[in-house]
Amino acid sequence: MRVAITGSHGLIGSALVRSLSGDGHQVVRLVRAGADRDPGDGGEAVSWDPAGDGPRLAGVDAVVHLAGAGVGDRRWSASYKREIRESRVRGTRAIARACAGAEAPPRVLVSASATGYYGDTGGRIVDESAPPGDDFLASVCADWEAAADPAREAGIRVVHPRTGLVVAGEGGAFGRMMPLFRLGLGGRIGSGEQYWPFVSLTDHIAALRFALDHHELSGPVNFTAPEPLPEREVTQVMARLLHRPAVVPAPAFALRAALGEFATTLTCSTRAVPAALTKAGFAFRHPTFEQALASVL
């Protein structure tokens, strides 16, 4: 299979490139003009302009679109919030139009989204049928998914992985948290009652490949482990497995002062479950947070 990937230098993209290349698939890394073209873990590099007409996709069987400005990379100024939205919507629209306009269109477009789509749902369990929330990230996710409509309208199967917090040894939210816990500086975030939807990096990559191969999957698909936990339990598991105390809480007001509006992503509760993946027969290697964390320690 020949797979084109955007965001190939990110946490998920680089792992997907390694996985596909290791199994003998051809990878085309779609990189922005002027960006690093180093092949890294494999794959041919092809330049594209997210603000333009999109890349040429001749001979490509599938496209995995992961690129977008990092939600946690900077404080959320008005200009950076615009960048978060526009980088996703503009890039997705360009990719979708390129897929639709290809002489031989790819069979599937896997275009990223996030569990932020649901907003704050408290303790209520939500699957892919739940409506969008009413906060900033929810509106971004809704627009992000809608931007893939040109591919959908062309008859291409489109899958939107609504990704939770990815558990990885380096990178992502947990990769940033673990050094603090190893120093004994971890603790409850906000009330600790908010549910955090998580997924191990191993399971996320397996789910991406499952989505590429399983034609019954389309539309939104929660890429989250089946057992989301309240943040206080996440903290307890991290402290236990890292053999460190977790006694330095981060109250919501302190987070807001330090991080601005981005702090709401840490105190928001989203109890998302992977109904679509489960129905399609996907088997998680790390269904619990303890298993997910242990896999990267």
> Coil, strand or helix: which one is 18?
helix
Structure token pair of residue 269:
């509760």
As a whole number of angstroms, the distance between CA 221 and CA 182 comes to 34
Q: How confident is the model at residue 270, as a pLDDT?
A: 97
What CATH architecture applies to the domain 2-163+200-224+274-282? Answer: 3-Layer(aba) Sandwich (3.40)
As a whole number of angstroms, the distance between CA 55 and CA 65 comes to 12
79-100 pLDDT, tens digit per residue, is: 999 999 999 999 999 999 999 9
Tell me the average pLDDT across 37-47.
70
133-192 pLDDT, tens digit per residue, is: 999 999 999 999 999 999 999 999 999 999 999 999 888 888 878 888 888 888 888 899
The mean predicted confidence, pLDDT, of the chain is 92
Q: What is the DSSP letter of 241?
A: H
Task: Give domain limits for the chain.
Answer: 2-163+200-224+274-282
Q: How confident is the model at residue 150, as a pLDDT?
A: 97
* Residue 37 reports pLDDT greater than 60: no
26, 4 contact by CB (below 8 A): no
224-261 pLDDT, tens digit per residue, is: 999 999 999 999 999 999 999 888 888 777 777 766 77
The model scores a pTM over 0.95: no
Q: How confident is the model at residue 247, as a pLDDT?
A: 84
Alpha-carbon torsion, ordered 238, 203, 223, 198, to 10 deg: 0
178-213 pLDDT, tens digit per residue, is: 888 888 888 888 899 999 999 999 999 999 999 999
How far, in whole angstroms, is CA 172 from its chain's centroid?
Answer: 10
Q: How confident is the model at residue 179, as a pLDDT?
A: 87
99, 63 contact by CB (below 8 A): yes
100, 40 contact by CB (below 8 A): no
230, 192 contact by CB (below 8 A): yes
As a whole number of angstroms, the distance between CA 235 and CA 131 comes to 29
Q: What is the DSSP letter of 102?
A: S
Mention every residue, 6+ apart, whose C-beta is less than 8 A from residue 24.
none
